[in-house]
Amino acid sequence: MTEKTAGQQLQERLFTKKQHAHNLLDATEVEAFAQEYKTFLSENKTEREVITTLVALAEKAGFANIANVGGVEAGKTYYKVDNNKNLALVRFSGLKSIHAVASHVDSPCLHLKPYPLAESNKLGMLKTHYYGGVKKYQWLNIPLALRGVAHTQEGTRVDVRLGEDGPCFTIPDLLPHLAKDQLKKEAREVVSGEQLNAIAATIPYEDEKVKDKVKLALAIKLNEQYGLTEEDFLSAELSLLPAGPARDAGIDASLILGYGHDDRSCTYASARAILDAKKATHTQIALFYDKEEIGSYGRTGAQNLFMQRLIEELLELSETDLRPSQVWEKTNILSADVTAAVDPNFSDVHDPSNATYIGYGVAIEKYGGSGGKYSTNDADAEYMHALTTLFKQHNVPWQTGELGKVDQGGGGTIAMFLARHGANVVDMGPAVLGMHAPYELLAKHDLFSTYKAYNTFFEHSLPK
Ligand code: MN
Ligand code: MN
């Protein structure tokens, strides 16, 4: 072998070496984790379904509902659930220090309107109001399933699940032959919010005296299957979302194409990371929030005081003489969310040397926001340094980057809502392609790197 030149040696010493995560990970482990995640992703498509499944997993692993215990002990595991939309999994080790990983369980989709049943031009329709930052035209011409929760007049709760195995719904786009005017529109106007109505039925109920015959036929079907009347949709939480299971993508099967990687890749990775974690000297908490996609508002969004209430409960149950603010100050949090990977077809929106790449490990994002780091958490140098040192010590494949070019756009996560209480927080999760599209792409190596990062963070103290 020829000797390295002085320049090569200097480069090696001074420049960052970026390598694909497969150099650091076991291929069998990566694949096994990916298959389990795919099943989770295919089966859980609403925030409630995700939380219900996580609670079941936690109970199976011996976590006790904190609402039913008289005290908490070091080494024991607990969970706190709120309205099937907020969840905390806790491995308790006192309140001197906490390591928490916080993800969100909601994903962009099309919610049904309060009065969703309609008839238009002889077709039965379901009217929607989109949820989250979607490019509306992407939701046309794909099979949609209807999932969620409703209550009948008698007060019975029904879990609606239509269109996964049986007949699905769809919103057809305008044919190109007649799209002369449509194609001149800006992309955001190509299909308007009020045009996001799914075709749901076509055969009329035959009764001359009835006006909306197809709407009636549609209402009858929903009533037969779930006992629902039109009024019951007012209080329901029903979503139209991509039908069918997640699947492998790429000839090397290195990717997963599926609905809701944002943010269920982080949700699943953090849940598995805490379930698998060995106990540490700090308390481990995996937090799951709703409503991130619409700004983390409301009772179950990350701007609420769910973590604060959990801390208060833990203080009381452990008879610890600390104020909640003292616990927050000793809390380190990973805001577990996805970021944007460089897409070769749209690479001009990134600065290539400050971007995240598919397959190069979990992405640590010091800040997001937009317009001069506005509206973001900007993690401290000390915290960044401690985490990257920890990951180097434990062979966790990681990379760092910005969400896109300066002033190209931007985005937020729940990081800043947790940081305001005095905790250390930084964003961390896999970089995905096609974020917020009905089907997003995630690399299996990035998913496993994310799991490994969270698990390492749960198990170890931060290097000084
Ligand atoms: Mn997200
Ligand atoms: Mn999102």
Ligand closest to the CA atom of residue 435: 2
| In-domain check, residue 20 | yes
20 and 123 housed in the same domain: no
177 and 66 housed in the same domain: no
265 CA → ligand 2 middle, Å: 12
Q: Report d(CA 335, CA 103) in Å as an integer.
A: 6
| In-domain check, residue 215 | yes
Encoded tokens for 130: 């989109």
261 CA → ligand 1 middle, Å: 8
Ligand closest to the CA atom of residue 132: 2
| In-domain check, residue 252 | no
165 and 299 housed in the same domain: no
368 and 279 housed in the same domain: yes
Encoded tokens for 42: 């295919």
Q: What is the pTM of this model?
A: 0.97
Q: What is the pLDDT of residue 2?
A: 80
121 and 90 housed in the same domain: no
414 CA → ligand 1 middle, Å: 8
Domain final position from 242, 273, 295: 242
456 CA → ligand 1 middle, Å: 22
CA–CA distances in Å: residue 51 to residues 48, 105, 269, 314, 327: 5, 8, 14, 21, 26
43 and 148 housed in the same domain: no
| In-domain check, residue 250 | no
| In-domain check, residue 9 | no
What's the CATH number where 100 sits?
A: 3.40.630.10
108 CA → ligand 2 middle, Å: 7
Evaluate whether 429 touches 337 at the Cβ level (below 8 Å). yes
436 CA → ligand 1 middle, Å: 9
269 and 379 housed in the same domain: yes
99 and 158 housed in the same domain: no
What's the CATH number where 165 sits?
A: 2.30.250.10
**Quick one: which of 323, 282, 287 has its CA closest to 304?**
287
345 CA → ligand 1 middle, Å: 22
Beta-carbon count within 10 A of 157 CB? 8
| In-domain check, residue 247 | no
Q: What is the pLDDT of residue 1?
A: 66
| In-domain check, residue 143 | yes
| In-domain check, residue 464 | no
301 and 427 housed in the same domain: yes
51 and 152 housed in the same domain: no
Q: What is the pLDDT of residue 199?
A: 98
Domain final position from 210, 242, 274: 242
43 and 134 housed in the same domain: no
263 CA → ligand 2 middle, Å: 7
Evaluate whether 72 touches 92 at the Cβ level (below 8 Å). yes
103 and 173 housed in the same domain: no
Ligand closest to the CA atom of residue 294: 2
The phi and psi torsions of 196 (rounded to 5 degrees) equal -85, 65
Per the structure, the count of domains in the chain is 2
Ligand closest to the CA atom of residue 102: 1
Q: Residue 25: which domain range?
A: 16-107+259-459
263 CA → ligand 1 middle, Å: 5
Per-residue pLDDT of the chain (464 residues; tens, 9 = 90+): 689 999 999 999 999 989 999 999 999 999 999 999 999 999 999 999 999 999 999 999 999 999 999 999 999 999 999 989 999 999 999 999 999 999 999 999 999 999 999 999 999 999 999 999 999 999 999 999 999 999 999 999 999 999 999 999 999 999 999 999 999 999 999 999 999 999 999 999 999 999 999 999 999 999 999 999 999 999 999 999 999 999 999 999 999 999 999 999 999 999 999 999 999 999 999 999 999 999 999 999 999 999 999 999 999 999 999 999 999 999 999 999 999 999 999 999 999 999 999 999 999 999 999 988 998 989 999 999 999 999 999 999 999 999 999 999 988 899 999 999 999 999 999 999 999 999 999 999 999 999 999 999 999 999 98
